[in-house]
Amino acid sequence: MVRENSLDRRGFKAWVFVPAMLFGAEAKWWGDRGKRTSPHEGLDCCLFSDPWGNLLRLKEGTRIPAMYAGTVVAIIDDFLGKSIVLEHRLPNNHGPFLTIYGHTVVKDTLHVGSTVNEAEIVGTLAGTSKSPVHVHPHLHVSLAQPSDRASYENLTWRHLSDPELFTMTDPLSVIGGPYRLIERVEEIPEPT
């Protein structure tokens, strides 16, 4: 995402996360910052820093590349846009695994059954101006391993959150770039 959106030319140094953006978080980082209805099943990429310590954020329309080559197995609604579910089969991997990119506007040519290459653009960040909650554009990334009982037909976030169907994994170790954690953000900056 850094290279595809020229964030490196804008001085990208590291992704920045507050605890509520992380996998398993029980609090929200937006709106009233209250309790989530269930632990966070992914990682929210919104903020990054430059070498001078400035906090910057992603904007609506930020291009989203696929982390791995794979096949689109579902495109589902989420509270800000669409979630794109890609299935991957990597060498030396025990069965398939999924990457899920949430809060997107899906690329026009992408549909269930499409194959994508690593780094191919699958969509862009959805806008949030029509959202019922005050949240900034961000990419929600989830990793999941389906069980033998899992089905992609009529897939929803409720299914993805069911531990008997999918085992969710913390995506922080595979985001592909340096990161740092900060305790909180007083004010999220305007996009650059």
Say what the pLDDT of residue 189 is.
Answer: 67
- List, for residues 20-74, the tens digit of each pLDDT value: 999 999 999 988 888 999 999 999 999 999 999 889 999 999 999 999 999 999 9
What parts of the chain have a pLDDT lower than 50?
Answer: none
Say what the pLDDT of residue 89 is.
Answer: 87
Can you list the domains of the chain with their CATH numbers? 14-181 (2.70.70.10)
Say what the pLDDT of residue 169 is.
Answer: 93
Say what the pLDDT of residue 93 is.
Answer: 65
Say what the pLDDT of residue 43 is.
Answer: 97
d(CA 105, CA 80) in angstroms, rounded, equals 9
